[in-house]
Amino acid sequence: MYRILIVDDEEKIREVLKEYAEFEGYEVCEVADGMEAVKMCKEQDFDALVVDVMMPKLDGFSACKEIRKFKQIPILMLSARSEEYDKLFGFELGIDDYVVKPFSPKEVMARLNVIIRRNTAGSKLSGAEIYEFGGLVIDIAGRNVLVDGQKAEMTPKEYDLLFYMVKNRNLALTRDKLLEEVWGYDFFGDDRTVDTHIKMLRNSLGSYRSYIITLRGLGYKFEVVQ
């Protein structure tokens, strides 16, 4: 049985999500603020967290940042704010998915199921390959990327996205394909999720950002441009 922690200051939201989660067989704990969430994660183990952004005492972003310091737990973020900045900031912290309020509890559970399955199954992007493109070195097995000799600091999803694109370099990859292969789902995916991570990844690659080519109206591909 999977254990999840729901972190939201709105009691009604906690009740609804708990009801749906328990119906699907989850063991559910709940707290109303970020400080309690950090405390519980230090004391107990969870398979995933559902965390609201706007909370008293300690907001969701800060709580996730603290939790990431000592545990790598899959995180689904909830927010009433849909601005790209908020989503980008969340993904930079390493969250796995972002759902904007008001939401369907069924959609939240579907997304939660996906990130838990993906985490427990292990990364399907592992391998023994090391790729070198000039000063860009990509070590898939070691989950390490060097940009002109300097280690690139990336989020887990940036690594996964880059590794998949490199393994399929020179191929046109649609946004739907990237969602399906990297995030593990397609129907519940959002094209903006891919676009946001591509923007982050390009920033991480620095002078090698041009290796990720935009295919207008379609998606992206990794191609070393000489």
Question: What does each of the 226 residues of the chain score in pLDDT, given as a tens digit?
Answer: 789 999 999 999 999 999 999 999 999 999 999 999 999 999 998 999 999 999 988 999 999 989 988 887 889 999 887 677 777 888 888 788 888 888 899 999 998 988 887 766 544 444 447 888 888 999 888 888 999 989 998 988 899 999 999 989 989 999 988 988 888 754 455 678 899 999 999 999 999 999 999 999 899 999 986 5
Q: Please say which residue of 121, 155, 178 terminates a domain.
A: 121
The Cα 23–Cα 65 span in angstroms is: 30
Query: Using omega within 30 degrees of 0 as the cis cutoff, is the peptide bond preceding 102 cis?
Result: yes
Q: Please say which residue of 121, 140, 170 terminates a domain.
A: 121
Q: Are 174 and 168 in contact (CB under 8 A)?
A: no
Q: In terms of residue numbers, what domain contains 134?
A: 130-222
112 and 215 in one domain?
A: no
At 105 the pLDDT is: 92
Burial classification of residue 134, based on how many CB atoms lie within 10 Å of its CB (0-12 exposed, 13-18 middle, 19 or more buried): exposed
104 and 19 in one domain?
A: yes
The Cα 94–Cα 77 span in angstroms is: 11
189 and 115 in one domain?
A: no
Geometric angle at alpha carbon 120, from 14 and 159, rounded to 5°: 100
115 and 135 in one domain?
A: no
Position of tokens 């310091």? 69
